[in-house]
Structure 1
Amino acid sequence: MTRTQRNVSITAVVLALVAAGWWFTRQPADSAAESGTKAAKTEEAQPRPALTVRVAVPEPAELAITLPANGNIAAWQEASVGSESAGLRLAEVRVNVGDRVRRGQVLARFAPETIDADVAQAKAALAEARATAADAAGNAARARTLEKTGALSQQQITQYQTAEQTAKARVEAAEAMLAAQQVRGRNTQVLAPDDGVISARSATVGSVVGSGTELFRLIRQGRLEWRAEVGAAELGRVAVGMPVRVTAPGGAEVQGKVRSIAPTVDAQTRNGLVYVDIPSVQADKGFKAGMFARGEFALGRSAAQTVPQAAVVPRDGFNTVMVLQEDSRVQMRKVQAGRRIGERIEITGALPAGARVVTEGAGFLNDGDLVRVVDAAPAEAPAAAK
Structure 2
Amino acid sequence: MNRLIPFGMAVAALAALAGGAVILTRAPHAATTGTAADRPADRPSVLTVTATTPQTQDWPQTLVASGALAAWQEAVIGAEVGNLRITELFADVGSTVVRGQELARLSQDSTQAAIRKQEALVAQAKATLAQAQANARRARMVKGSGALSEQQVAEYLIAEDTAKASLAAAQADLDSGRITLAQTRILAVDDGVVTARSATLGNVVSTGAELFRLQRQSRVEWNAELDARQLSQVRPGQKARLTLPDGRRIDGTVRLAAPSLNSATSRGVVSVSLPADSGAMAGGFASGEIELANQSALTAPQSAVVLRDGRSYVFSIGADNRVTRHPVTVGRRRDQRVEILAGLPLGVRIVESGGAFLSDGTPVTVAPSGDPVATAAIPERKS
Shared fold (TM-score, shorter chain, > 0.5): yes
**Cα distance in 2 for residues equivalent to 1:255 and 1:230:** 18
Which amino acid counterpart does residue 329 of structure 2 have in structure 1?
Q
The structure-2 alpha-carbon separation of the partners of 1:109 and 1:40, relative to structure 1 and needing over 3 Å to count, comes to: same
Aligned to 1:263: 259
Aligned to 2:11: none
**Cα distance in 2 for residues equivalent to 1:195 and 1:290:** 20
Aligned to 1:306: 300
Shift of 1:174: 3.4
Of 222, 235, 239, the residue aligned with 1:243 is 239
Aligned to 1:64: 59
Aligned to 2:26: 39
**Cα distance in 1 for residues equivalent to 2:248 and 2:200:** 35
Shift of 1:131: 6.3
* Alpha-carbon displacement from aligned partner over 1:68-106 (angstroms, at most 9, x marks no partner): 221222222221112112122222222233333222222
Aligned to 1:89: 85
The structure-2 alpha-carbon separation of the partners of 1:334 and 1:268, relative to structure 1 and needing over 3 Å to count, comes to: farther
Aligned to 2:73: 77
**Cα distance in 2 for residues equivalent to 1:34 and 1:314:** 42
**Cα distance in 2 for residues equivalent to 1:221 and 1:134:** 52
The structure-2 alpha-carbon separation of the partners of 1:376 and 1:326, relative to structure 1 and needing over 3 Å to count, comes to: closer
**Cα distance in 2 for residues equivalent to 1:162 and 1:152:** 14
Aligned to 1:347: 340
**Cα distance in 1 for residues equivalent to 2:19 and 2:136:** 155
**Cα distance in 2 for residues equivalent to 1:135 and 1:380:** 106
Q: TM-score, normalised by structure 1?
A: 0.69
Aligned to 2:193: 197
In structure 2, the gaps of 5 or more residues are: 1-14, 34-38, 375-383
Count of residue correspondences: 344
**Cα distance in 2 for residues equivalent to 1:140 and 1:376:** 113
**Cα distance in 2 for residues equivalent to 1:35 and 1:334:** 44
Shift of 1:40: 5.5
Aligned to 1:7: none
Shift of 1:292: 1.0
The structure-2 alpha-carbon separation of the partners of 1:272 and 1:373, relative to structure 1 and needing over 3 Å to count, comes to: same
* Alpha-carbon displacement from aligned partner over 1:203-250 (angstroms, at most 9, x marks no partner): 233222111122222222222222222222122332222222232101
1:123 aligns with 2:119: yes
**Cα distance in 1 for residues equivalent to 2:106 and 2:242:** 43
Aligned to 1:252: 248
**Mapping of 1:156-175 within 5 angstroms?**
171-175=167-171
RMSD of Structure 2 on Structure 1 (CA): 4.5
Q: TM-score, normalised by structure 2?
A: 0.69
The structure-2 alpha-carbon separation of the partners of 1:205 and 1:311, relative to structure 1 and needing over 3 Å to count, comes to: closer
Tell me if structure 1 keeps the 8 A contact 2:297–2:340: no
* Alpha-carbon displacement from aligned partner over 1:288-317 (angstroms, at most 9, x marks no partner): 1111112222333633142654644445x6
**Cα distance in 1 for residues equivalent to 2:342 and 2:156:** 105
Tell me if structure 1 keeps the 8 A contact 2:321–2:365: no
The structure-2 alpha-carbon separation of the partners of 1:32 and 1:137, relative to structure 1 and needing over 3 Å to count, comes to: closer
Of 81, 106, 112, the residue aligned with 2:108 is 112
1:291 aligns with 2:284: yes
Tell me if structure 2 keeps the 8 A contact 1:70–1:228: yes
**Cα distance in 1 for residues equivalent to 2:312 and 2:269:** 34
SS in 2 for 1:180: helix
Aligned to 2:365: 375
Tell me if structure 2 keeps the 8 A contact 1:313–1:363: no
The structure-2 alpha-carbon separation of the partners of 1:345 and 1:143, relative to structure 1 and needing over 3 Å to count, comes to: closer
Tell me if structure 2 keeps the 8 A contact 1:311–1:357: no
* Alpha-carbon displacement from aligned partner over 1:135-155 (angstroms, at most 9, x marks no partner): 888999999999998x9998x
Aligned to 2:328: 335
Tell me if structure 2 keeps the 8 A contact 1:311–1:360: no
The structure-2 alpha-carbon separation of the partners of 1:162 and 1:343, relative to structure 1 and needing over 3 Å to count, comes to: closer
Aligned to 1:21: none
Aligned to 1:179: 175
**Mapping of 1:216-231 within 5 angstroms?**
216-231=212-227
Identical-residue share of aligned pairs (%): 39
Aligned to 2:12: none
Aligned to 1:23: none
